[in-house]
Amino acid sequence: MPRRITETEVRHVAGLARLAVSDAEVAQYVRQFEVILEYFDQLNKLDTTDVPPTAHPLPITNVWREDVEKEGCTAEDALANAPQRWESYFQLPKVLDQDAE
């Protein structure tokens, strides 16, 4: 079977993607692309006349839960595991210097 992907084409695509590829990588990519194209040949041999076009092979549906109002947590519950707290707030280390402009 003649090669369908050439080293020149692999180098061209790598250049478009701004990738530096070695000679060994080019040879590896040529082989890998050939395997991929052989697989596409197998798929092209399948009879798909009765298969409708799809965007996804499995049916996708959203699973919605009922929007029910629930009791939220209290400030005390939210701060229960806080390493440091000040009154009813999380206490964090200072990250901005007020004097710096």
Q: Please report, for the domain that includes residue 25, its CATH number.
A: 1.10.20
Q: Tell me whether residue 18 is in a domain.
A: yes
Let me know if residue 39 belongs to a domain: yes
The mean pLDDT value for 26-45 works out to: 92
Give me the domain span that covers residue 25.
7-44
CA terminus-to-terminus distance, the chain: 70
The pLDDT of residue 30: 94
Neighbours of 10 (CB within 10 A): 19
Total tally of structural domains belonging to the chain: 1
Is 90 contained in some domain? no
- Greater pLDDT, 54 or 17: 17
- CB-based contacts of 6: which residues, under 8 Å, 6+ apart? 30
Whether residue 11 is contained in a domain is answered as yes
Q: Is residue 20 in a domain?
A: yes
Whether pLDDT at 93 is above 60: yes
23 pLDDT above the threshold of 90: yes
Task: Write down the mean pLDDT value for the chain.
Answer: 88
Q: Which residue has the higher pLDDT, 31 or 96?
A: 31
What average pLDDT does the segment 90-101 reach? 77
Judged against a pLDDT cut of 70, whether residue 1 lies above it is answered with no
Residue 99 backbone zone (phi > 0: left; psi -120 to 50: alpha; other: beta): alpha
Quote the crossing angle between the two packed helices 7-16 and 23-44, to the nearest 10°. Answer: 100
Residues 6+ apart with CB under 8 A from 3: 30, 34
Beta-strand pair 89-90/85-86: antiparallel
Q: How high is the pLDDT of residue 96?
A: 80
